[in-house]
Amino acid sequence: MIAIDSVTKSYGDATVVDAVSLTLPDSGVTSIIGPNGAGKSTLLSIVSRILGADAGVVSVEGLDVFSAPSREVAKRLSILRQDQHLTARITVRELVEFGRFPHSHGRLTPECREAVASAIEYCDLAELADRPIHQLSGGQRQRAFVAMVLAQDTRYVLLDEPLNNLDMVHATGLMRLLRSLADDHGKSIVLVLHDINYASVYSDRIIAMRGGAVVQDGPPTEVITEAALEDVYGMEFRVHEVDGERIAAYYR
């Protein structure tokens, strides 16, 4: 499991993650929801040590992420960041190969090549594999970054708004893929979502943040309710049962 203990981060006078304590399970799909500025990305960045915390401790399977060698952390935990920047002129396949770096140190083994090929296949990128990244559409590029993260083949996969730029076919395809990585490969998928209905349908657990704190934490039956969503977002919701799923309507 990932243990987050009293993690705090401030910028000047603003505390954007406020003494958050959470444990993230070693399998299943956990979604993090909440309004813009709630601290979701900051928390994931701290867990994956892109960012330091002002206070608190994070451990992954007992390994302290702030003091452990980065390679050891990277074998256990991967992250798709909310805004990936890439200046290098590389192809989709080369990008996905970067995901193997913690394992291969730059020299790809047959196992690495297999992981790269499966990630490309899973993300529907076979026809784009030799195209330069900078020639792709936003959604195609997003899938290439997801493939890079999957190629890293870690137990914990953190994804910050992975549905950004994806059409409904690829968004649903990605959610099904993440669900099957949890169910069939025993991975723990933790993802930030704005589409609360994808969170409702695909998650085992939904954590809601607001103002740097966790304000809801439970299965979709507890968090996808009118009262809980109104508390998180401060707007009106109607929750309906559609085909056995809880679906929130919020367009008016």
Ligand X SMILES: Nc1ncnc2c1ncn2[C@@H]1O[C@H](COP(=O)(O)OP(=O)(O)O)[C@@H](O)[C@H]1O
- Residues interacting with ligand X, by CB under 6 A? 11, 16, 34, 36-42
Of 150 and 207, the one with the shorter C-beta distance to ligand X is 207
DSSP state string for the chain: -EEEEEEEEEETTEEEEEEEEEEE-SSEEEEEE--TTSSHHHHHHHHTTSS--SEEEEEETTEETTTS-HHHHHHHEEEE-SS----S--BHHHHHHHTTHHHHTT---HHHHHHHHHHHHHTT-GGGTTSBGGGS-HHHHHHHHHHHHHHT--SEEEEESTTTT--HHHHHHHHHHHHHHHHHH--EEEEE-S-HHHHHHH-SEEEEEETTEEEEEE-HHHHSSHHHHHHHHSS--EEEEETTEEEEE---
Q: Tell me how far, at minimum, the Cβ of 36 lies from Mg ion, in Å.
A: 7
Q: Which of residues 104-143 bind Mg ion (CB under 5 A)?
A: none
Stretch that binds Mg ion, among 38-46, 55-63, 199-207, 232-240 (CB under 5 A): 38-46
Given Mg ion, ligand X, none, residue 42, with its beta carbon under 5 to 8 Å by kind, binds ligand X
Examine residue 152 and tell whether it contacts Mg ion (CB under 5 A).
no
Q: Tell me how far, at minimum, the Cβ of 40 lies from ligand X, in Å.
A: 3
Examine residue 41 and tell whether it contacts Mg ion (CB under 5 A).
yes
Of 40 and 141, the one with the shorter C-beta distance to Mg ion is 40
Of 82 and 225, the one with the shorter C-beta distance to Mg ion is 82
| Identity of the amino acid at 229 | L
Alpha carbon distance 180, 182 (integer Å): 5
Q: Tell me how far, at minimum, the Cβ of 76 lies from ligand X, in Å.
A: 23
Q: Tell me how far, at minimum, the Cβ of 4 lies from Mg ion, in Å.
A: 17
Q: Tell me how far, at minimum, the Cβ of 192 lies from Mg ion, in Å.
A: 6
Stretch that binds Mg ion, among 5-13, 76-84, 91-99, 151-159 (CB under 5 A): 76-84
Of 92 and 232, the one with the shorter C-beta distance to Mg ion is 232
Q: Tell me how far, at minimum, the Cβ of 38 lies from Mg ion, in Å.
A: 8
Binding residues (CB under 5 A) for Mg ion: these are 40-41, 82
